[in-house]
A = this chain, B = another copy of it.
Amino acid sequence: MGSAAPDDPEVRAPPDNEKGSTMATPPARRPLQPRPETARRREEILRAAIATFGAKGYKGPLSDIAEQVGMTHAGVLHYFGSKSALLLEVLKFRDFEDVEDLPTHHMPGDAGLFRHLVKTAFLNARRAGIVQAFTVLSSEAVTDDHPARSFFEERYVNLRAEVADAFRVMCAEEGIDAPETVDRAAASILAVMDGLQIQWLLDPTAVELGETTEFAIEAIVAQVLSPRDTPLSSPPRSPTD
């Protein structure tokens, strides 16, 4: 039991007197001063974990992460309890960082959202490590019992809702009503961002991440706000079945 997260407030149960009956609440001590080093070390580990999960996936050994911060794998477990707990903290950490520098500290709800997404894509082109971690993990997570599966499930639900809300605001301004299109467009925008990251990670010279994301988002937004008749005559049902 020496491996609980040290700064977890829940864990601090001061031991009541449990020896004899004559003892009067002996040492109700609580030197709960989390050392200032601790927070910094934790963040060091998180950043190393991002790099390693990105480079090797979740299955990469804990010792890879530990070495980067000059520690043994047991030291990392001391901070995070288990490998999957570390993974989930990594994911939350990056999501937090993503909106950290926004003035309102959460995403804009109107057309500004799309500008924010494009800006993020340009930014991502400068930080392959983090992008790779999220890309690898979000796809690994579709496997049946992956520890990050529910994290990503919820994440996409929330993101789609945010994007769809932004679309609805814009549609209202233009007097457009197309609920189905809005939902599909929201999913498409997230999809194109993820998909472009895969291609970019496989060959950064082959895809311009920022510019291509911008193009695709503009295409989808345009199709929502002023739909054109389809140039593909579509018999969409599969013929052979």
Contact = CB atoms under 8 A, between A and B. Distances in A.
Q: Report the copy number of this chain in the oligomer.
A: 2
Nearest to A140: B57
Interface stretch (A21-29, A90-98, A230-238): A230-238
16 contacts: A55-B144, A56-B143, A57-B143, A118-B232, A123-B238, A126-B241, A139-B140, A153-B203, A184-B215, A187-B206, A191-B195, A191-B196, A191-B198, A195-B195, A214-B232, A221-B231
Contact of A191 (B55, B119, B184, B194): B194
Contacts of A199: 156, 160, 187, 190-191
A119 B191 CA distance: 18
B136 A143 contact: yes
A102 B47 CA distance: 48
A172 interface: no
A141 interface: yes
Nearest to A144: B55
Q: Which 4 A-B pairs have the closest CB atoms?
A: A191-B195, A139-B139, A219-B223, A195-B195
Kindly name the residue among A57, A199, A221 whose own CB sees the greatest number of chain B CB atoms within 10 A. Answer: A199
B221 A225 contact: no
A195 B190 contact: yes
Q: Is the interface of A mostly helix, strand, loop or mixed?
A: helix
A79 interface: no
Contacts of A153: 202-203
A59 to B, nearest CB: 5
Interface residues of A, number: 77
A187 to B, nearest CB: 5
Contacts of A139: 135-136, 138-140, 198
A184 B199 CA distance: 12
Contacts of A198: 138-139, 142, 191, 194
A32 interface: no
